[in-house]
Amino acid sequence: MEKRKQVLSAIQPTGQMHFGNYFGAVQNWVKLQENYDCIYGVVDYHAMTMPYQPKKLRENTWELLFNLMAVGVKPEYLFIQSLVPEHAELCWILNCFTSYGQLTRMTQFKDKSAQVQETATDSFISAGLLDYPVLQAADILIYRADYVPVGKDQEQHLELTRNIAQRFNNQVGKEYFVLPEPLYTEVPKVRSTAEPNRKMSKSAGDKHYIDVFAEDNRIRKQIRSAVTDTGETPEGEMSPGVANLFEMLKAAGQQDSYEQLMKDYEAGGLRYVDLKDAVADGLVALSQQFRENKKAILADKKEYKNKIKASSAEIRKKAQETVREVKELAGLSNVRF
């Protein structure tokens, strides 16, 4: 049997999961499990690069893990980054194969530095924020991932990872690291229902995101109040608000409703109330199942925590082997694990 390709993806521990997160990334994780060997990380080291509270970080990490399992991610594919310290060790080694100039040119560093200066009580910008892409490269390369699911906004980071890997390979005289390829899959870009010109985001405020585990009434209320037409859309184009509702309807698996309502739109007979009701029905159906799954997980919380600790330990074995081999190739002192 042909060996399945390795996929690596990761998510920062924000705790709550909204439909932007789910449709934009996690739903795809669940689908990829069927055809690839997957490793999915909750990357708490990365979360430290921005202002944070230690207690909240730990709580958010476990909350996100429970949420991921509730929506269908298999626990054996999940790990907590800080339970695999080899990520940080490999990051240091890869730092020595990364130029300072490359890091300062990263768009995310510029954007997040500006965000810290605008919102934090002080303007402290950590070295960790600058080094974030190298740790991200270590996350990918440590598992020799063939593919990384990415959107267009993440291409710069993956290209840096490939560049670092190639520089290491050239330095040690061996094609050791796999140069990971982007895995482009059809993932919707879900927008805020309150302001559809911006992406759905928890940081923008309550009205700008819809919690995957929200009660039915809450979901329906937010969809009913969704902005549809601001009057600024050029004639003949679908307004961002309407397009966003159609995007969510399709992502929720309501293909029949999507096709019928799209016909109504093209014929000029679409009633926004019908579209909103269909979207709300689709989201509520998903949320009800996810809430049931999460209820079962929380009823046996200790067991599921143990599963994640065990999967992290098992996944760590792969990381340990990579670091051992990298240290050997890099000329560092080494002890076989």
Minimal CA–CA distance to 5: which of 27, 26, 34, 25?
A: 34
Give the per-residue pLDDT at 229.
81
The CA distance from 128 to 51, in Å, is 11
Rounded average pLDDT over 32-50: 95
Rounded to whole angstroms, how far apart are CA atoms 257 and 270?
Answer: 12
Higher pLDDT, residue 280 or 152: 280
Which amino acid is it at 180?
P
Specify the 3-state DSSP secondary structure of 80: strand
Q: List, in order of start, the domains of the chain with CATH numbers.
A: 6-187+301-330 (3.40.50.620), 202-296 (1.10.240.10)
Exposure on the CB side of residue 238, measured as CA atoms within 13 A:
17
311-336 confidence digits (pLDDT tens): 999 999 999 999 999 999 999 987 76
Please list the active-site residues: 112, 199, 202
The residue among 257, 233, 286, 236 whose CA lies nearest residue 72 is 286
Average pLDDT over residues 251-280: 95
pLDDT bin (cut points 50, 70, 90) of residue 120 is low
pLDDT bucket at 51, cuts 50 / 70 / 90: confident
Instruction: Report strand pairing: 147-149 vs 78-80.
Output: unpaired
pTM of the predicted structure, to 2 decimals: 0.91
**Looking at residue 14, what is its pLDDT?**
83
- Which among 110, 210, 203 has a CA at the least distance from the CA of 156? 110
Among residues 63, 75, 73, 70, the alpha carbon closest in space to that of 296 is found at: 70
Q: Which strands sit side by side in the sheet containing 78-80, from one edge to the other?
A: 78-80, 37-42, 6-11, 147-149, 181-183
CA distance 158 to 149: 10
Average pLDDT across the chain, whole number: 92
pLDDT of residue 233: 67
Nearest-angstrom CA–CA distance, 300 and 58: 19
The number of residues making up the chain comes to 337
Q: How far apart are CA 285 and CA 279, in angstroms?
A: 10
Number of other residues whose CB lies within 10 A of the CB of residue 327: 16
CA 15/CA 38 separation, integer angstroms:
22
Q: Around 166, how many Cα atoms within 13 Å sit in the side-chain half-sphere?
A: 8
CA-CA distances (angstroms) from residue 70 to 4, 173, 290, 291, 335?
25, 45, 6, 7, 39
**Lowest-pLDDT range of 1-5, 71-75, 86-90, 138-142:** 1-5
pLDDT of 175 reads: 96
pLDDT digits (tens, 9 = 90+) for 207-247: 999 999 999 999 999 999 999 986 666 777 899 999 999 99
pLDDT, one tens digit per residue, over 127-179 is: 998 999 999 999 999 999 999 998 766 788 899 999 999 999 999 999 999 99
Pairing state between β 181-183 and 6-11: unpaired
Contact 268, 261 (CB under 8 A): no
